[in-house]
């Protein structure tokens, strides 16, 4: 499994891009920077985007990728998410006001996007992968994912603070290779992290214990969603955590899992 980091931050500057990852050049997880961080050809090669939740930093580039793919006559891009997430996209995003409804653009040969509703913990086959949506704890309906390909399984936390079900599912997942895991604020901003449904290094260290000591120590946790203003502090605090196998993602990283 080839994992590319297109965007891995909880904010944007010329050196930071919001969340977007691509597996095997076919399936994207979140769309925070799919067009700002990818060439046109790669944008058009995608089959599907898994959307963890409807917050703007995870969906924004759906707007521009839909437009780009339409101009290039690409097949409809599957936009997969829970009913709640797709509901927000339909009502508030692709609503013919903020942006055209690219799921049914009149006068075009085919739509640029096609919605696919994911039931929680109901495995679905998408672009040759088995995708499972798992509920996590954020400020709006949000899910993490497991993505199972021929070589193994990638986990994705989505935006979340302390949560339970994700860890239970990961513990039972055979062939788990790595987990893309959110951490956003430094320990000193614990209150802000709590009210916004995110992790600090401290809450992350505690939550990862739910994996059990052996798996927590061994599973590569690839950290993303650090707020640009706190990048160095969060990295320093994560480096002090014991009993975990953490790597902070950087733009352009490629992991072969």
Residues near Zn ion (CB under 5 A): 55, 57, 159
In the complex with Zn ion, which residue's Cβ is closer, 44 or 251? 251
In the complex with Zn ion, which residue's Cβ is closer, 57 or 207? 57
Question: 104 and 112 in contact (C-beta within 8 Å)?
Answer: no
> Nearest 5°: CA angle at 178, between 228 and 252?
45
In the complex with Zn ion, which residue's Cβ is closer, 55 or 69? 55
What the block records as the tokens of 238 is 């994560």
In the complex with Zn ion, which residue's Cβ is closer, 47 or 57? 57
Q: How many residues does the chain have?
A: 257
- Least Å distance, CB 125 to Zn ion, is 27
In the complex with Zn ion, which residue's Cβ is closer, 159 or 237? 159
Report the largest interatomic distance among the alpha carbons of the chain, rounded to a whole angstrom: 58
Q: Is the dihedral of CA 65, 68, 73, 74 positive or negative?
A: negative
Identify the residue whose tokens are 């006559």: 73
- Least Å distance, CB 223 to Zn ion, is 13
- Least Å distance, CB 33 to Zn ion, is 12
- Least Å distance, CB 152 to Zn ion, is 26
- Least Å distance, CB 226 to Zn ion, is 11
Integer Cα distance of 14 and 12 in angstroms: 7
- Least Å distance, CB 138 to Zn ion, is 5
* Sheet strands (E) in the chain: 2-7, 20-23, 27-29, 48-50, 77-81, 113-117, 124-126, 129-135, 143-149, 152-156, 176-182, 220-224, 245-248, 254-256
In the complex with Zn ion, which residue's Cβ is closer, 55 or 60? 55
């Amino acid at each position: 499994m080839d994992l590319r980091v297109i965007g891995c931050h909880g904010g944007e500057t010329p050196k930071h891009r919001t969340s977007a990852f691509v597996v095997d050049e076919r399936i994207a997880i979140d769309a925070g920077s799919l067009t700002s961080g990818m060439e046109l050809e790669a944008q058009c090669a995608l089959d599907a985007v898994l959307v963890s939740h409807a917050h703007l930093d995870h969906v924004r580039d759906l707007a521009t990728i839909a437009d780009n793919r339409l101009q290039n006559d690409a097949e409809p891009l599957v936009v997969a998410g829970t009913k709640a997430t797709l509901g927000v996209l339909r009502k508030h995003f692709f609503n013919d006001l903020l942006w055209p409804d690219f799921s049914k653009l009149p006068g075009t040969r085919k739509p640029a996007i096609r919605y696919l509703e994911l039931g929680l913990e109901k495995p679905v086959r998408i672009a040759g992968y088995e995708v499972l949506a798992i509920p996590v704890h954020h400020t709006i309906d949000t899910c993490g994912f497991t993505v199972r390909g021929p070589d193994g399984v990638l986990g994705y936390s989505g935006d979340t603070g302390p949560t339970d079900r994700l860890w239970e599912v990961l513990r039972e997942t055979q062939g788990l290779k790595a987990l893309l895991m959110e951490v956003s604020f430094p320990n000193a901003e614990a209150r802000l992290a709590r009210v916004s449904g995110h992790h600090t290094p401290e809450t992350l260290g505690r939550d990862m214990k739910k994996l059990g000591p052996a798996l927590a120590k061994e599973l590569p946790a690839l950290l993303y969603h650090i707020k640009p203003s706190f990048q160095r502090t969060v990295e320093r605090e994560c480096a002090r955590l014991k009993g975990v196998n953490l790597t902070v993602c950087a733009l352009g990283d490629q992991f072969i899992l």
